[in-house]
Amino acid sequence: MVLNAHAHAYALAAFVLLLAAPVQSSPVPEKMSSLRDQQQVAVTIYNENLALVKDQRRISLDKGMNRLAWRDVSARIMPETALLRSLAGGEGIALLEQNFDFDLLTPQKMLEKYVGQSVTVIRTNPATGVESSETATVLSTNGGVVLKFADRIETGLPGRLAFRSVPDNLRDRPTLVISFLAPATDHRQMELSYLTGGLSWRADYVAELSPADERLDLNGWVTLTNVSGSSYPDAKLQLVAGDVNRVRQEMNFAQEGRAMKAAAMAAPAMAEESLFEYHLYSLERPTTIAEQQTKQVALLSASRVPVHKELMLYGRDYYYRSSYGDLGQKMKVGVFVEFENKGSGLGVPLPKGVIRVYKKDSAGNAQFVGEDRIDHTPRGEKVRLKLGEAFDVTADKKQISFQKISASGRYSAIFESAYQLELKNAKDEAVTVKVMEPVPGDWEVLSESLPHHKPASNTAVWQVQVPARGRTVLDYRVRVKL
């Protein structure tokens, strides 16, 4: 909290008075704050299971010492990040102590807290229905319950148990208890901000290819998951896309829930802006992020995006170093599609996620044709997806000669090798296959049946056209110095 000079002076004086004051005969009663006091909540969710919660509530303060039990915080709160501040001006408060109570109330927890204390055991006579009660001391709850009565010790639960009260450190909801000094009795708008786990998001995209595979329609969704142990009603939602550095710590708060329910939300696209070296997406309407829920919010929509389809066969560099002979029969040719993140409703930073691609069959039914994961993609960059392997286009490849020409030391040698690649196409239309060969060392192509180009120092690329229901053979010889 940032305090002005007067607030600093007040906080110091109040703390000194607190230390000098006599011990009170009774503890300061807790002031309970629940979601009924909530005025506004904002949630910013990051990629790596991290969220920033800003919870604003109307709080009644007493002059001097206050113990505020702030209920309904996240069960996965990082309490060392919690910050309570006053939003309404005036003199500031002086924070003294805070405790996160995440030991939640259950019958088993009640029993554990009552070890060494007395409880009332209530039995019902099965014949008469008359109830009787008896006092017992709880000796143990490890692997079962052990009770000590006045004249005996019993194991198990002989009836139902009645407790005098709920222990102070058991809560029905995750609660942050904050002790602080206030300068006057007042009602104030206060904000508790903290980092928490249990809230995460990811981007999911659905694309549909045109009949000729030259365009696609793309819709993006943000999928939110809340297993934080708390709900955030009518929250102002923001998402940060980017890899934020975090200091890893050993933490083990309340357990994560597992049951999830899906709620697809039709919504306008989210507003986007730069934030430091990341990108911030803001939903322009409040939304409720319920506990134990997965929901989807619309991110973007783009239509008729130009796309380039490519068939590619990728080689290996190991067979340029030794004799191998047959390198593969009916080798699979990869199917890729590529588009630029610009125009047609795009041109915004794309958060990392999975793009699932569909295409309509002859009856007009959309069929799934593949998916791939993309990383964070800036505007203007290309998106390249591998959708699968071609069924009707295959390749046979073999090394037809290999010779070690010379050696001039332990790690220096010159090799010559020749290769034959037969590409076959069973489709009714011609195709072009991009053949990429990673060649090690210092190399040159000595001869070839089709021309190659060199996009990188270690790569040779051939564009091989294969006729409909036909075949094309690529022959080439390479000299490599290693």
Encode pLDDT of 263-288 as tens digits: 333 344 578 888 888 888 899 899 99
Residue 432 has pLDDT above 90, yes or no: yes
Residue 427 has pLDDT above 90, yes or no: yes
Residue 17 has pLDDT above 60, yes or no: no
pLDDT at position 252 is 46
**Cβ burial, residue 97 (10 Å; 0-12/13-18/19+):** exposed
84-93, pLDDT tens digit by residue? 998 876 567 8
Give the dihedral of Cα atoms 87, 93, 98, 100; nearest 10 deg: -20
| CA angle (176 as vertex; 175, 182 as ends), nearest 5 | 130
Mean pLDDT over the full length of the chain: 86
Quick one: what percent of the chain has pLDDT higher than 70? 88
CATH 2.60.40.1170 boundaries in the chain: 311-333+389-481
331-371, pLDDT tens digit by residue? 999 999 999 999 877 888 999 999 999 999 999 999 999 99
Asked if 215 and 304 count as a contact pair (C-beta separation under 8 A), the reply is yes
pLDDT at position 110 is 83
Quick one: what percent of the chain has pLDDT higher than 90? 64
Residue 397 has pLDDT above 90, yes or no: yes
In this structure, are strands 293-306 and 262-265 parallel, antiparallel, or unpaired? parallel
Residues recorded for the chain: 482
pLDDT at position 193 is 96
What's the whole-number mean pLDDT along residues 414-434?
A: 96
Residue 452 has pLDDT above 90, yes or no: yes
What's the whole-number mean pLDDT along residues 95-122?
A: 85
Residue 1 has pLDDT above 50, yes or no: no
Q: pLDDT grade, residue 410 (50/70/90)?
A: low
Residue 24 has pLDDT above 70, yes or no: no
Residue 254 has pLDDT above 80, yes or no: no
58-80, pLDDT tens digit by residue? 999 999 999 999 999 998 999 99
Which position has the higher pLDDT, 108 or 378?
Answer: 378
What's the whole-number mean pLDDT along residues 446-467?
A: 97
Q: pLDDT grade, residue 21 (50/70/90)?
A: very low
What's the whole-number mean pLDDT along residues 232-258?
A: 71
Q: pLDDT grade, residue 111 (50/70/90)?
A: confident
What's the CA gap between 95 and 89, in Å, rounded? 16
**Type of residue at 74:** S
What's the CA gap between 250 and 22, in Å, rounded? 39
CATH superfamily of 311-333+389-481: Mu homology domain, subdomain B (2.60.40.1170)
Which position has the higher pLDDT, 410 or 306?
Answer: 306
At 278 the three-state DSSP class reads strand
pLDDT at position 22 is 44
Residue 6 phi/psi, 5-degree rounding, is -65, -40
pLDDT at position 15 is 46
